[in-house]
């Protein structure tokens, strides 16, 4: 029916993630590291948005944000979340469920310092997720900060309300498109940080 091989149930899910991510980086036109992040309030009201994966290892998947944003407030109240990678060019998805924990201050400082100057200025100037009544005022604030830190090498301090989170998996599900919606799905569930045996799921 297709020459695409079935997902190997004996694979290490992190090694499989690395393979799929590398292939996506070679085929996706933009942001192969983009992922939909779903969070929820303590009473179960969900919200989802696209963020960028900035680091990952066997400890989890890392992204950064304004801690006072909608997602930051959700996470502070309810640390359970899920992310979804969808690579349209490859007809693949990976879904990760787990628990979020803060990155270290050193990790946040290092990543913030690696960002482009204008992105660092924007992170300081933005009251993310709150009403913006005056776009010109926001841009003026960015310009004011730019005058304080006039070049790309400026040591712009990371604001205390900007940091990152690591999603430690409790489950990782891989999905591969097959013709006629006879897709291939495999899920690994975790005992602590150790993936258990994989299970194939009906599409």
Residues with catalytic function: 181
Q: Give whole-number Cα distances, 164 to 34, 160, 189, in Å.
A: 15, 11, 24
Q: Which residue has the tokens 């997720």?
A: 129
The residue assigned the tokens 């998947």 is: 61
Are 133 and 108 contacting, i.e. CB atoms less than 8 angstroms apart?
no
Name which of 169, 164, 166 is nearest 188 in CA terms. Answer: 169
CB 24: neighbour CB atoms within 10 A? 21
3-state secondary structure of 37: strand
DSSP bridge pairs for 46 = 40
Q: Which two tokens stand for residue 4?
A: 């695409």
Residues 24/90, Cβ–Cβ less than 8 Å: yes
127: which DSSP letter?
-
Nearest to 141, CA basis, from 163, 114, 159, 160: 159
């Amino acid at each position: 029916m297709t020459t695409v091989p079935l997902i190997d149930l004996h694979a290490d899910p992190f090694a499989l993630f690395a393979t799929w991510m590398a292939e996506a980086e070679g085929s996706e036109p933009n942001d192969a590291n983009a992922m939909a992040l779903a969070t929820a309030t303590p009473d179960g009201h969900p919200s989802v948005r696209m963020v960028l994966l900035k680091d990952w290892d066997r400890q989890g998947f890392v992204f950064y944000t304004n801690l006072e944003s909608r997602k930051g407030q959700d996470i502070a109240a309810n640390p359970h979340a899920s992310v979804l990678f969808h690579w349209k060019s490859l007809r693949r998805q990976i879904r990760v469920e787990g628990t979020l924990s803060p990155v270290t201050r050193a990790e946040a400082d290092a990543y913030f310092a690696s960002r482009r100057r204008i992105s660092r200025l924007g992170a300081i100037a933005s009251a993310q997720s709150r009403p913006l009544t005056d776009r010109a005022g926001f841009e003026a604030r960015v310009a004011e900060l730019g005058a304080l830190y006039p070049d790309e090498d400026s040591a712009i301090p990371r604001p205390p309300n900007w940091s990152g989170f690591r999603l430690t998996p409790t489950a990782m599900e891989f999905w591969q498109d097959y013709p006629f919606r006879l897709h291939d799905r495999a899920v690994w569930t975790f005992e602590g940080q150790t993936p258990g045996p994989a299970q194939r799921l009906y599409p």
